[in-house]
Amino acid sequence: MNRYIEEFETYLTDVKKASTNTCLSYIRDITQFEAHLLAGGVENMLEAGPGDIASYIESLDQAGKSDSTILRSTAALKCFYNYMIFCGYIENTPVKSEVKRKKEKHMPEILTNQEIFMLLNAPKCTDAKGIRDKAILEILYATGIRVTELISLNLNDVNVDLGFIRCVGEGKERMIPMYPAAAEAVRLYQKRARNALVTDPQETALFVNVYGERMTRQGLWKIIKHYTHEARINKEITPQTLRHSFAVHLLENGADLHSLQEMLGHADISSTQVYVNIVRGKLKDAYSKHPLA
């Protein structure tokens, strides 16, 4: 346990007189958040930003944590960083009001075909970073894989000649096809950009950062945020947004539910059924514009 967490624990017990259960829960939440930061390459908790908080909350959501757990975790983070401000360690809290509580269950954000086009064409393939970013965005939309699955990809997980990737998610391996433009973007990255970024010839990661190391969750979030701004898309786009858009667009173009379930890596088809409801909702909204509806 680092000294900031130790000081916070003392504050909870001696000053706030919090209950034993509250202390244990808050310290556990803060410690888990610290582990999340370390896994993403952030070694100092005081350097965490709003994006780190958002990615952690999303990781809890994707892990199936209950609303009450996410609410408590967010409250713990808010309390911790407010205390850090009080102590003079930081000036501003990374816990913004919009992530103060978990969002109510709602239909996920889906990008239009035009927005997808603008986002995929936002990277300028004039240098290694731009070529890499283009390949990342193409793979996310082409395959619908999760953030952790993308950053875990190794060189031998991709076959650009046959146009597929091998993905291991939640303990299961699956093969997912790529459309030709995505495969070509990855081929270009492997041929012209990756070697310019990698410093260790033994590195097996497919996607690496500017230091030649495996890409992190936080790094991926920053890339998507950057190109959302570059494409002038007025939506909050995350890696999960591309996964949702992949699923809905496939269904709209005739894909069957079981094939989509397999590509998304869902253990339970009820998780995939959500996208059918979205498509039906979009059709209903479109029909509501009928003059006699």
User: What CATH number did the domain enclosing 81 receive?
Assistant: 1.10.150.130
Q: Are residues 164 and 216 in the same domain?
A: yes
Q: Are residues 86 and 122 in the same domain?
A: no
- Is residue 291 in a domain? no
Query: Residue 251 maps to which CATH number?
Result: 1.10.443.10
Looking at 76, 99, 122, the residue that finishes a domain is 99
The pair of three-digit structure tokens given for residue 80, joined into one six-digit string: 């911790």
Measured on CA atoms in the order 107, 108, 113, 115, is the torsion positive or negative? positive
């990277």: which residue's tokens?
A: 123
Q: CB-based contacts of 114: which residues, under 8 Å, 6+ apart? A: none
Domain that includes residue 59, residue range: 3-99
Q: Are residues 53 and 136 in the same domain?
A: no
Nearest CA among 22, 5, 23, 99 for reference residue 61 = 99
DSSP label of 193:
I
pTM of the model: 0.64
The pLDDT value recorded for residue 107 is 66
The pLDDT value recorded for residue 279 is 85
Q: How many domains does the chain fold into?
A: 2
Q: Are residues 42 and 146 in the same domain?
A: no
Beta strands in 70-208, from DSSP E residues, in sequence order: 158-159, 164-169, 172-177
The pLDDT value recorded for residue 289 is 66
The pLDDT value recorded for residue 106 is 59
Residues of the chain scoring pLDDT < 70 = 97-107, 170-171, 284-293
């390459």: which residue's tokens?
A: 41
The pLDDT value recorded for residue 112 is 94
Query: Judging by beta carbons within 10 Å of its beta carbon (0-12, 13-18, 19+), is residue 37 exposed, middle or buried?
Result: buried
DSSP label of 104:
P
